[in-house]
Amino acid sequence: MTPVEVPPVEVTRGSSPVVLAFPHSGTEVPAEIFARLNERGQQLADTDWHVDRLYSGLLPNATQVMARFHRYVIDANRPPSGESLYPGQATTGLVPDIDFDGNPIWRDGEAPGDAEIAARREAFHKPYHEALTAELERLRAEHGFAVLYDCHSIRAWVPRLFEGRLPDFNIGTNQGASCAPILEQRVTEVCAAAEDYSHVLNGRFRGGWTTRHYGRPEEGLHAIQMELAQAAYLQAEEPPFAYDADKAEGLRRHLGRLLQVIETTALDGALTTNEAENG
């Protein structure tokens, strides 16, 4: 496989115990892969549009780990085995063959087979998670703990995946297993206090593979996924998926508060082993 034209992962190091992960905001697709996508696939509609811009500068000392490649190349938030995270529910796979609406994204006969998926796993998925692991371990060695905040967004209306309109803030902690109870509590409180925005804890999105894999609070590794409704910050949930600076600024105020609360909770010592176990 020809390597991607840019490095598959971009890391910005910080001293905070908080790591911001961006598995789905990348839009890079190697030319030979892009040519095999059909017209619908080439729209890259399932991107977490502008999520990196949305969080930019909100927690200046946070480390950022960003996948540059698009999720149609390979999904960095799926288990490398390809097993479903939501058995019995509609979803998309490690290398999707359909989009969120259930439409094919590859030209006839161009969907990747097992050997190519394995090659993509080595070229893209593995380097992203190696980088994420390295940063979490670096910060855990420095602080005694680390907090992974997994940054996501999705269209507010995707009937194939969920009924009705998605809440604005979708907090995922794998039913409380991926972080200390105090962290889940304080994140939920910030979202509940955000006027004019809705929220849910462990609803349709309770955390993807990243949250479930890295969230081991008993070992000092805490993970939270935040899935935002794109209607809260895009001009429209259709091409060109343009960023709405005015709408986004309102959302950014709450996200900034949220990240500050996470960092303060961690640095105040609330995530030590005893606190994590006792809540």
| Per-residue pLDDT tens digits for 185-237 | 999 999 999 999 999 999 999 999 999 999 999 999 999 999 999 999 999 99
Asked whether residue 3 is domain-assigned, the answer is no
User: Confidence band (pLDDT; 50, 70, 90) for 4?
Assistant: very low
- Is residue 261 domain-resident? yes
Q: What range does the domain containing 111 cover?
A: 9-278
Q: Please check the confidence at residue 279 and state whether its pLDDT lies above 70.
A: no
pLDDT digits (tens, 9 = 90+) for 92-125: 889 999 999 999 999 999 999 999 999 999 999 9
Would you say residue 24 lies in a domain?
yes
| Residue at 163 is within a domain | yes
Other residues' Cβ atoms within 10 Å of the Cβ of residue 111 = 17
Which has the higher per-residue pLDDT, 86 or 80?
80
pTM: 0.94
Residue 193 maps to a domain? yes
In whole angstroms, how far apart are CA 84 and each of 48, 89, 108, 202? 20, 9, 24, 17
Structural domain count, the chain = 1
Whether 1 is covered by a domain: the verdict is no
From the list 46, 26, 74, the residue with the least C-alpha distance to 239 is 46
**DSSP assignments along 167-188, one per residue:** PSEEEE-TTTTSS-HHHHHHHH
2 lies in a domain?
A: no
Read off the CATH number of the domain in which 152 is found. 3.40.630.40
